[in-house]
């Protein structure tokens, strides 16, 4: 079992517009609500790869059924901790005319201490029984920046590897707790190290610095340029050439799901990053955000190029 913490659940809406004109009235052709949030994308990817997975996240009464049904249909066991206030809504505005996607992300409800405590306790009790655990994304209101750091430390004491994909103060504090793995993108690693990451070589230098500081594995995802990975001793660059990209939002989440499965299966690190990049890329090739299809992963995996970097 892999336990996924995705506390700041979201009801995502994809708005289909010809073109977005800021400052005017824009009418959407279509609006489809679906369960979202970074942890949910990770969990759905793990399930798509056929591994048992549970997702611990916030839910409200109005959306519990939708989340349980959609996640259950994909093979994810959902542990929804109920909030009195509604979960957030996140908009992805997709322009047909330009292909651009504009995201507007709400912060999430303000939680009382009991609800915050229940999310953390549920995550820790599920994770303690798991092969490994992941923590993804932002947190609802009321959580401190050291929340992920504290969960990482508790899991290390319990002998459970924890993978973290976060940004800002949450990521900075988590790095101090030395998780087994982190997966920043370009902006996130620049914010943590202060170094400019303009190309895969710079990403590798930054990832080596962090790995040398005690994090087991650092994967920096670089969008179309793929991802680099270092365990402090060896390093790899993995990518897929020549792609027809449709919607890359959530690709980092899907990458983390693939990496979690690779680690849980005990694959060599090179094959772990291959599987991660295959999942991230498969997501980018379809319109849906963060709901990757098994047949797309199978189709992309043989096309992943990966080489060791000295």
Please identify, using beta-carbon distances, which residue of 83 and 251 lies nearer to ligand ATP: 251
Helix (H, G, I), strand (E, B) or coil at 253: helix
Interface with Mg ion (CB under 5 A): 252
Contacted entry of ligand ATP, Mg ion, none for residue 179, CB cut-off 5 to 8 Å set by kind: none
Contacted entry of Mg ion, ligand ATP, none for residue 45, CB cut-off 5 to 8 Å set by kind: none
Q: Is 287 a catalytic residue?
A: no
> How far, in Å, CA of 105 to CA of 298, rounded?
31
DSSP for 11-62, written as a single string: EEEEEEES---TTS----SEEEEEEE-HHHHHHHHHHHTT--EEEEEEE-TT
Please identify, using beta-carbon distances, which residue of 17 and 197 lies nearer to Mg ion: 197
Please identify, using beta-carbon distances, which residue of 152 and 284 lies nearer to ligand ATP: 284
Please identify, using beta-carbon distances, which residue of 8 and 185 lies nearer to ligand ATP: 185
Give me the catalytic one of 12, 60, 165, 253: 253
Contacted entry of Mg ion, ligand ATP, none for residue 222, CB cut-off 5 to 8 Å set by kind: ligand ATP
Least gap, CB of 243 to ligand ATP (angstroms): 5
Interface with ligand ATP (CB under 6 A): 185, 221-224, 226-227, 243, 245, 248-253, 255, 277, 280-281, 284
> How far, in Å, CA of 267 to CA of 259, rounded?
10
Buried b (16+ CB within 10 A) or exposed e, 251-273: bbbbbbbbbbbbbbeeeebebbb
Contacted entry of Mg ion, ligand ATP, none for residue 243, CB cut-off 5 to 8 Å set by kind: ligand ATP
Annotated active-site positions, please?
Answer: 253
């Amino acid at each position: 079992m892999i336990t996924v913490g995705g506390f700041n659940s979201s009801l995502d809406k994809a708005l289909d517009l010809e073109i977005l004109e800021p400052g005017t009235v824009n009418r959407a052709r279509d609006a489809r609500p679906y369960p979202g949030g970074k942890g949910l994308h990770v969990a759905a990817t793990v399930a798509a790869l056929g591994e048992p997975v549970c997702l611990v996240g916030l839910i409200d009464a109005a959306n519990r059924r939708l989340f349980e049904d959609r996640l259950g249909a994909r093979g994810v066991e959902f542990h929804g901790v109920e909030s009195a206030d509604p979960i957030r809504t996140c908009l992805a505005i997709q322009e047909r005319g330009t292909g651009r996607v504009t995201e507007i992300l709400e912060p999430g409800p303000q939680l009382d201490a009991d609800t915050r405590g229940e999310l953390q306790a549920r995550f820790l009790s599920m994770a303690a029984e798991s092969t490994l655990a992941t923590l993804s994304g932002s947190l609802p209101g009321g959580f401190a920046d050291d929340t992920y750091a504290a969960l990482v430390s508790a899991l290390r004491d319990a002998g459970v590897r924890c993978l973290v994909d976060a940004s800002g103060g949450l990521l900075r504090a988590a790095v101090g707790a030395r998780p087994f793995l982190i997966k920043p993108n370009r902006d996130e690693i620049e914010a943590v190290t202060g170094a400019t990451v303009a190309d895969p070589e710079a990403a590798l230098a930054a990832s080596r610095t962090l790995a040398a500081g005690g994090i087991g594995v650092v994967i920096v995802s670089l969008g179309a340029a793929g991802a680099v990975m270092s365990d402090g001793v060896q390093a790899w660059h993995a990518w897929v050439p020549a792609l027809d990209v449709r919607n890359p939002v959530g690709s980092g989440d899907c990458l983390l799901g693939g990496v979690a499965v690779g680690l849980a299966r005990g694959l060599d690190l090179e094959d772990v990053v291959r599987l991660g990049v295959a999942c991230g890329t498969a997501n980018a090739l379809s319109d849906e955000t963060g709901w990757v299809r098994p047949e797309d992963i199978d189709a992309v995996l043989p096309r992943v190029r990966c080489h060791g970097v000295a």
